[in-house]
Structure 1
Amino acid sequence: MTEIRTPRLLLRRWTDDDLAPLADIDADPRVMRWIDGGPVRDPDATAEAIERWEEEWDDEGFGLFAVELLASGELAGVTGLSVPEYLPEVMPAVAISWRLGAPFWGQGYASEAAQATLEFALQDRGLDRVISIDRVGNRASENVARKLGMTLERETTHPMSGDALSVHAIDLSEYAG
């Protein structure tokens, strides 16, 4: 089983115990404001998302991790890798993403988890390039992308929601580790 430990976090695959805390995160409009056009998710939609992420692990050899705080065992959110098929203009690509519950904002957890995930992508999985896709105006996510060494590659529009998106990227040759 793939796990990554950072000084404060455990990035790991999903368990049944993760559904309730992730459903709470997905039900928070402050969190979901920047995700998929903004609607909150009910527990069934959260369960479907976890199932898709686990299938991607099986199909691609990577996916979205559960982000657990080492000190307390709490589920703080999600970070990981996915193939952004919904945005054909960036394909082929692998995107890194992150989403934390509001109580975990502003503590550096997103950057810590994303940095570990980027290292996993470029060093462990042998990817040459990783992108991030964020809604324009999501300054917190843009800051995480910059901390990863990513640079703005393009702005575009989400084909389903019409949201303005920014695409940041980093190549293995640019990665400082």
Structure 2
Amino acid sequence: MVIDTVSATDRLALHRPAASDLDELHALLSDPAVWTHYPSLVHRDGATTEAVIERWEESWREHGLGVWVVRDHDGAFLGYGGCDLRRDTFWNVGYRLRPEAQGRGYATEVARAGIASARRLRPGVPVVAYLLEHNTASAAVARRAGLVEVHRAADAGNPDPAAVRLVFADRNLDRYTLAEVVK
């Protein structure tokens, strides 16, 4: 089964990433303003962005669902979001929007669409959002999308030794799954 590669919500057009999206996605991912909670992840070159798009495309090819490019119904690029399958163990729900698109509920809208699609496709696989504790806006989106906090611990490998990782999920996670999430 494959989820529709083009979808829509009340306010958003969602589509599978295409080569024509590379420049807009790179502009977003190389913008320090969208990485305030994890500045070391700013994309410094197009190859880094291409690798991310390839990971999303791999999820679409192998699992029938991946991250969408998010646009408004007029076609304006807003960002990306949705779910991709990680390590064949959990659906990762994620979202990143242009600064001027933040605070309007778009992230919650795309997160809910991704979660619903993941549940239709493979309901036995948990849906997870993992984020840094100081990213309160992203935590609020995870909660509004129906996920609950199931884990809080130091963020291993983070350049900031004080960073705390939160894991939200749609169900309790066994030790194996949690270990895969925080890996």
> Which TM-score tier does this pair reach, normalised by the shorter chain?
0.7 to 0.9
Change over 3 Å in CA distance of 1:35–1:123 after alignment to 2: farther
Shift of 1:79: 0.8
Matched, 1:81 2:92: no
Partner of 2:101 in structure 1?
Answer: 104
**Residues 2-81 of structure 1 correspond to what in structure 2 (within 5 A)?**
2-35=5-38, 37-71=40-74, 73-81=75-83
Contact 1:36 1:161 in 2 (8 A): no
Output one character per residue of 1:86-143: Cα deviation in whole Å (capped at 9) or x when no partner: xxxxx83222111111121111111111111111111244345211101111011001
Shift of 1:19: 0.8
Change over 3 Å in CA distance of 1:66–1:32 after alignment to 2: same
Q: How many residues are paired up?
A: 166
Contact 1:84 1:94 in 2 (8 A): yes
* CA distance in structure 2 between the partners assigned to 1:7 and 1:42 by the alignment: 34
Corresponding letter in the other structure for 2:82? G
* CA distance in structure 1 between the partners assigned to 2:86 and 2:121 by the alignment: 20
Task: Give the % identical residues.
Answer: 30
* CA distance in structure 2 between the partners assigned to 1:48 and 1:74 by the alignment: 24
Q: SS in structure 1 opposite 2:170? A: strand
* CA distance in structure 2 between the partners assigned to 1:94 and 1:37 by the alignment: 24
Partner of 1:169 in structure 2?
Answer: 169
Unaligned runs of 5+ in 2: 172-183
Partner of 1:116 in structure 2?
Answer: 113
* CA distance in structure 2 between the partners assigned to 1:98 and 1:117 by the alignment: 10
Unaligned runs of 5+ in 1: 86-90, 172-177
* CA distance in structure 1 between the partners assigned to 2:156 and 2:12 by the alignment: 34
Change over 3 Å in CA distance of 1:58–1:141 after alignment to 2: same
Change over 3 Å in CA distance of 1:59–1:156 after alignment to 2: farther
Question: Structure 2 length as normaliser, TM-score?
Answer: 0.80
* CA distance in structure 2 between the partners assigned to 1:35 and 1:5 by the alignment: 29
Corresponding letter in the other structure for 2:22? L
Shift of 1:37: 4.1
* CA distance in structure 2 between the partners assigned to 1:36 and 1:118 by the alignment: 27
